[in-house]
Amino acid sequence: MPRASDYLLEGYTYHLTHRCQERQFLLRAGRYRSAYRKWLSEGVQRYGVPVYGYCITRNHVRVVAHASKREAISRMMQLASGATAKGLNVRKDRVNAMWEHPYHCTVIQDGRHLLNCLQYVDLNMVRAGRVRHPDEWKWCGYDELSGQRQRYRILNVGHLAERVGLASARDLHAWYVDAMSERLKEREQLREPQWTESVAVGSDDFVSEITGNYPHRFRFSINRARRGAWAVREAPVPYGTKKS
């Protein structure tokens, strides 16, 4: 998966994935998922990051956020992961690292690709077989994207509506509820690796634009992905070759 330290650029929207060390279920207890959500909310307020979606599972978290400022996203993620780890380690008397480092990122094109990404994030625990509908998992953004949550909100739904071409937050709520119902009726909750294993997901022109923003030392391959998207991935470096 792409490393944020290498690929995070300002002005784009990212799907960020942070996994617990060795994919352990360190967030199994709801109190730790709630703690992460609290610190994510604090980071949004403190650093002014527009967040569009998230899902906190038992062994990893996903956050969809806009990089208005690169440093702001990094600080928000460091706050949420660091404060959660500190609380867990104190309570469990642990000294080991909680998270794999660094978190990983995939840049997502605005519009339908961003909406598809948000649905994929909210369906995480449906795919895992823990719930039948995202509204049954309170540690994800579905209740805000559907308009159910009115207090203690994290997501910038108004800003998101603009980026996906809808007139208002109310229009986004209505669209999201209907689209999620249709996605669940498809009964096709397969893992879609482009969201976590790619550098970028979007149209052919978009992913080509993204690769042009990186130094020539990076090697990429562009391929078709699911749901009408193209995905660009970092190509394997031949054995014995070093990045300079």
End-to-end CA distance of the chain: 20
The predicted model gives 198-215 an average pLDDT of: 90
Percent of the chain with pLDDT over 90: 71
The predicted model gives 56-65 an average pLDDT of: 98
Range in 87-96, 158-167, 219-228 with the lowest mean pLDDT: 219-228
Locate all alpha helices (DSSP H) within 101-212, ordered by sequence. Answer: 112-122, 124-127, 142-145, 157-163, 169-186, 194-197, 204-211
Domain boundaries, the chain: 4-192
For the stretch 162-186, pLDDT in tens is: 999 999 999 999 999 999 999 998 8
For the stretch 8-42, pLDDT in tens is: 889 999 999 999 999 999 999 999 999 999 999 99
Cβ within 8 Å of residue 61, ≥6 positions away: 17, 18, 27, 36, 54, 55, 80
Please check whether the domain covering 4-192 is classified as CATH 3.40.30.10: no
